[in-house]
């Protein structure tokens, strides 16, 4: 990793003048800006080699503001929000086009962001000004500015409870915001230098990483009290949870590891080695995958089932935040010193295509129906071919059950001999391409007649 300082001076301001200057995430933001003075070529030697490149790929690098740190996704609206710490702005990305559609001015030194989809609201923790900006996602305007503790580093929302939780790194507290009134209703003391926060709405529980304490505070949302403190790795930073699996993932920035916490028992059940300086972490529950942004320049992809790193994906300079769109199985990673957001596409499931025939062998000119069964899939079409000749084009798949689909092609156009029938599935946004083959034997009428005659003679004798 290239040398970095601990002091941020930009054309707009000096962050050490802000109240949030003492928090860990704020110091990380300062390192991002200091690294900007280092030519990118000097960092080239530290590039992390790609692994499993055929599976996880960076499909886009989107230019945003200066010093992007936090990122959050509104999957329903196909929109991503990125905090730019040096610009005091939030970039709004259209996921479909991969372009920035708006740049919104917020408070000083925005670090973290969370989306409340039901209320069409976006919450931005401004580390430099000790506030939270509330953005109306529909109008793209800041509708409220809420004063919280000193050095707000992280923010998460509980949509069911209409509550936002903000970690105040310099205060050692968590501010609880009533989304309906836009006011702080409670301030909860946690560990030293709290940073990341994640909420399990179903369990009414919030998890807060305390960087200087090497712990995670467990908050009961109902009572607003800390009910447990879990020791994790060195310098815990980002945190994310898989509510379905009752599992919490903690990125330990000082230990280059991820701690795995069982929500039910409140214990660490595993420690996974990842890249250098893990910062942000996000989970794709449906794909059983966790993404970890390592400040050293790559993203570690964790298979939740095995608890192992299955891929390492190089991204931009100084990756920090990460968020997942579970509907598209896509991860968004902020590159602090690259002023970009890398878009990582997950490997698509590969369907299996099987082909059967209504009769085999058949005779030339005889009607034969080929059936292709594809799964898993979510619809689409099938093209049937015999060699280079297309027999049926774009036949719609019909659901058989679950994610299994079927299409049929009836033809009389098969030449005599051994024909290779191919059923090709073109894939879609959720599944890879797939094809199945079947060998059909087609006899000439004379051959078939001779067989009948010979069979009759044998029967007579």
Pick from 340, 338, 355, 353: which is nearest to 409 by CA?
355
pLDDT of res. 32: 52
Same domain, 356 and 341: no
Same domain, 306 and 376: no
Please check the confidence at residue 48 and state whether its pLDDT lies above 60.
Answer: no
Q: Is residue 451 one of the residues assigned to a domain?
A: no
In this prediction, residue 40 has a pLDDT band, given cuts at 50, 70 and 90, of very low
Tell me if 383 sits within 8 A of 426, measured CB to CB: yes
Q: What is the mean pLDDT of residues 417-438?
A: 93
Q: What is the mean pLDDT of residues 380-407?
A: 96
Q: Which of 326, 345, 364 is the last residue of a domain?
A: 345
Q: What is the mean pLDDT of residues 378-391?
A: 96
Q: How far apart are alpha carbons 446 and 111 in whole angstroms?
A: 80
Q: Is residue 460 one of the residues assigned to a domain?
A: no
Same domain, 285 and 367: no
Same domain, 285 and 424: no
Measured between alpha carbons, how far is residue 149 from residues 23, 83, 168, 185, 197 in Å?
Answer: 12, 19, 5, 12, 15
pLDDT 10s digits, 52-99? 444 799 999 999 999 999 999 999 999 999 999 999 999 999 999 999
Q: Is residue 4 one of the residues assigned to a domain?
A: no
Q: What is the mean pLDDT of residues 198-207?
A: 97
Mean pLDDT of the chain: 88
Same domain, 306 and 339: yes
Same domain, 275 and 396: no
Q: Which of 345, 374, 395 is the last residue of a domain?
A: 345
In this prediction, residue 432 has a pLDDT band, given cuts at 50, 70 and 90, of confident
Q: What is the mean pLDDT of residues 170-193?
A: 97
Tell me how many domains the chain contains: 2
pLDDT of res. 350: 86
pLDDT of res. 182: 97
Q: Is residue 275 one of the residues assigned to a domain?
A: yes
Same domain, 63 and 173: yes
Buried b (16+ CB within 10 A) or exposed e, 52-84: eeeebebeebbebbbbbbbbbbbbeeebbbbbb
pLDDT of res. 44: 30
Q: Which domain holds residue 415?
A: 352-446
pLDDT of res. 227: 98
Same domain, 58 and 143: yes
> Which CATH number goes with the domain that contains 328?
2.130.10.10
| Cβ partners under 8 Å of residue 234, min gap 6 | 214, 252, 253, 254, 255
Same domain, 238 and 183: yes
Q: Is residue 226 one of the residues assigned to a domain?
A: yes
Q: What is the mean pLDDT of residues 189-193?
A: 98
pLDDT of res. 453: 47
Q: How far apart are alpha carbons 410 and 388 in whole angstroms?
A: 17
How many CA atoms does the CB half-sphere of 206 hold within 13 Å?
32
Please check the confidence at residue 28 and state whether its pLDDT lies above 80.
Answer: no
pLDDT of res. 303: 95
Q: Is residue 366 one of the residues assigned to a domain?
A: yes
- CB burial of residue 26 (10 Å; 0-12, 13-18, 19+): buried
Same domain, 200 and 294: yes
Please check the confidence at residue 13 and state whether its pLDDT lies above 70.
Answer: no
Q: What is the mean pLDDT of residues 287-293?
A: 95
pLDDT of res. 119: 94
Please check the confidence at residue 176 and state whether its pLDDT lies above 50.
Answer: yes
Same domain, 384 and 439: yes
Q: Which of 345, 380, 401 is the last residue of a domain?
A: 345
Ramachandran category for residue 143: left, alpha or beta (phi over 0 → left; psi -120 to 50 → alpha): alpha
Tell me if 210 sits within 8 A of 194, measured CB to CB: yes
Q: Is residue 31 one of the residues assigned to a domain?
A: yes
Q: How far apart are alpha carbons 354 and 403 in whole angstroms?
A: 14
pLDDT of res. 51: 46
Q: Is residue 457 one of the residues assigned to a domain?
A: no
Tell me if 126 sits within 8 A of 152, measured CB to CB: yes
| CA atoms 72, 74, 80, 83: torsion sign | negative
> Which CATH number goes with the domain that contains 430?
2.60.40.10
Please check the confidence at residue 334 and state whether its pLDDT lies above 60.
Answer: yes
Same domain, 61 and 126: yes
């Amino acid at each position: 990793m290239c040398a970095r300082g601990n002091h941020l001076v930009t054309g707009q301001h000096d962050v050490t003048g802000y109240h949030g200057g003492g928090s860990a995430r704020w110091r990380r933001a300062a390192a991002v800006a200091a690294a900007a003075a280092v030519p990118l070529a000097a960092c080239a030697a530290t590039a992390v080699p790609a692994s499993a490149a055929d599976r996880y790929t960076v499909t886009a690098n989107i230019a945003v503001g200066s010093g992007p740190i936090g990122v959050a996704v509104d999957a329903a609206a196909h929109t991503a929000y990125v905090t730019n710490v040096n610009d005091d702005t939030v970039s709004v990305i259209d996921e479909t086009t991969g372009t920035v559609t708006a740049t919104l001015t917020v408070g000083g030194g925005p670090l973290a962001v969370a989306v409340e989809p039901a209320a069409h609201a976006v919450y931005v923790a401004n580390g430099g000004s000790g506030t939270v900006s509330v953005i109306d996602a529909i109008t793209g305007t800041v509708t409220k500015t809420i004063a919280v503790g000193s050095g707000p580093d992280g923010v998460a929302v509980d949509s069911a409870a209409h509550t936002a939780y903000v970690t105040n790194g310099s205060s050692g507290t968590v501010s609880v915001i009533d989304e309906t009134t836009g006011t702080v209703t409670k301030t909860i003391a946690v560990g030293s230098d709290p940073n990341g926060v994640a909420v399990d709405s179903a369990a009414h529980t919030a998890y807060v990483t305390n960087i200087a304490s090497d712990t995670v505070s467990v908050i009961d949302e109902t009572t607003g009290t800390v009910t447990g403190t879990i020791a994790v790795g060195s310098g815990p930073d980002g945190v994310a949870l898989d509510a379905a699996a009752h599992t919490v993932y903690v990125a330990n920035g000082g230990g280059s590891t991820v701690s795995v916490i069982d929500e039910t028992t409140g214990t660490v059940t595993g420690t996974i080695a990842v890249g250098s300086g893990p910062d942000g972490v996000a989970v794709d529950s449906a794909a059983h995958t966790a993404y970890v942004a390592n400040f050293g320049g790559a993203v570690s992809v964790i298979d939740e089932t095995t608890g192992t790193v299955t891929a390492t994906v190089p991204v931009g300079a100084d990756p920090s935040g990460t968020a997942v769109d579970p509907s598209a199985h896509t991860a968004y990673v902020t590159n602090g010193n690259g002023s970009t957001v890398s878009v990582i596409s997950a490997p698509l499931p590969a369907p299996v295509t099987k082909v059967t025939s209504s009769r085999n062998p058949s005779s030339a000119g005889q009607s034969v129906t080929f059936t292709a069964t594809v799964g898993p899939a979510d619809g689409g079409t099938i093209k049937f071919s015999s060699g280079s000749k297309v027999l049926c084009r774009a036949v719609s798949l019909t659901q058989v059950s679950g994610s299994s689909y079927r299409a049929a092609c009836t033809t009389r156009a098969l030449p005599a001999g051994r024909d290779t029938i191919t059923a090709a599935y073109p894939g879609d946004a959720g599944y890879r391409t797939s094809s199945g083959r079947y060998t059909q034997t087609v006899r000439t009428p004379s051959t078939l007649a001779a067989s009948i005659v010979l069979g009759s003679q044998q029967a007579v004798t």
